[in-house]
Amino acid sequence: MDSTILIWEMLFGAIGLGFFSYGKKQKAIVPLVSGVGLFIFPYFVSSLYLVLLLGFALIILPYFVRI
């Protein structure tokens, strides 16, 4: 495993923890689901570009989707 991918996955996991805790505290479903997605997707993706694409997409998602 490449160390660059590992560092990005850890960064997205930390941001996912922040989204998850915010979504749980505010009872907001979109940040909660986005945080869980940021936790889970690195287990299934091994390409650096796909990790970056999915990670940034899940980070940006709560800013554009308001439920």
How many Å apart are CA 22 and CA 29, to the nearest integer? 10
pTM attached to this predicted model = 0.88
Q: Which residue has the tokens 């689901």?
A: 33
Which residues touch 48 (CB under 8 Å, ≥6 apart)? 2, 4, 5, 8
Number of folded domains in the chain?
Answer: 1
pLDDT, position 8: 93
Range of the domain at 11: 3-64
Mean pLDDT of successive 10-residue stretches along the chain, which has 67 residues: 88 95 94 94 91 95 87
